[in-house]
Structure 1
């Protein structure tokens, strides 16, 4: 297993009842999203009622409706990061750097498209782009893989930044509703374009 890509640090101490409520609320929120087919159904009041908890408990845990989606995204982001750090190759360790870079782009695009409604619902005015700013994992991981490729004469930090920008949050702003609903192969086209970009940049 590789060293962690991000310093996760010690988890913040949390009372057992608070941790239990958090898990229950997130599980309830996921059930509501799955049953009702969209982010619009998930409100603070509806979540509190469905979870059988007071509205004050929900507010203390998440702060705002957007905070619910931010927490859901954070959970899924942590699971995604674990796949990158310790999952099977080529996304996880054990494959050639170029193959891992291509696999990372494919997986990240799929993650963003799958979470697009959740990411937009997580915006509350304090986050500049969906799902926050860039995900630190992306630039760190891409920079590491570019370094393993030993590209001559390349400004690796800047190249990693530019490739990260091609994947993370802002990508969702460039896709219109018609792009997402009318084009059934949008994910295939995007992953194919990412592979072509990486092959050209890295000379593969």
Structure 2
């Protein structure tokens, strides 16, 4: 069984429609002009909604980007829980672990600008992603039957390698623009695969 993740709170139908309209509009604005051009006023005008609706929904400009990340995080987690293997169920646990790290690396790098914009000026906002990543890695390690003395600690260390500061620092030093460049994402994904294969003694 895969690790469950929290469900979003139930919304009224009109609130849900407004939220989805705003998120779709924000995605379009980012695709057209980049993260820096997305403002509360611009989002409200582009979506055809009142500015008060945007403030009630997101609170701050950073809240827009946190909502975007949250929505995409739920989609990613759904693929892990019920999508096709090897990322989803049905594959060997080591193959799933390799696939998870590779896909997670690209997922994070491709959204690094949104992640930076999701940080409030008053201070950093902790990501909830490791709440899913760490237990998922721990589950796969245990399913793999590697005879590890302490899979819990190893899961924590692997989560740090995947979600932690080193990935952020490397991304800032070598900004990623997609999978086809020459290519931080591929280097990190290949490094993850090598690490897991050696752990499994393949």
TM-score by length of 1: 0.89
- The 5 A counterparts of 1:38-49 are 38-49=34-45
Post-superposition Cα deviations, 1:55-107, rounded to whole Å, max 9, x if no partner, equal 11100000010100000001100000011011111101111111110000000
Unaligned runs of at least 5 residues, structure 2: none
CA contact (8 A) 1:134 1:165 kept: no
- Which deviates more, 150-159 or 174-183? 174-183
Contact 1:108 1:167 in 2 (8 A): yes
- Helix, strand or coil: the match of 2:119? coil
In 1, Cα distance between the equivalents of 2:173 and 2:124?
Answer: 24
Give the count of matched residue pairs.
198
Supply the distance in 2 between the matched residues of 1:169 and 1:54 (Cα, whole angstroms): 38
For structure 1, list consecutive stretches of 5 or more residues without a partner in the other structure: none
Q: Kindly tell me: are residues 194 and 39 of structure 1, through their superposed partners in 2, closer, same or farther at Cα, counting changes over 3 Å? A: same
1:78 equivalenced with 2:88 (yes/no): no
Distance 1:55 1:158 in 2: 47
Q: 1:12 to 1:41 in 2, by over 3 A?
A: same
Give the one of 150, 158, 173 matched to 2:153: 158
Aligned-CA RMSD value: 1.9
Aligned to 2:168: 173
Q: Within 5 Å, which residues of 2 pair with 1:1-204?
A: 3-9=1-7, 11-36=8-33, 38-124=34-120, 125-128=122-125, 132-180=127-175, 184-204=182-202
TM-score normalized by the length of structure 2:
0.90
Q: Distance in 2 between matches of 1:144 and 1:4?
A: 8
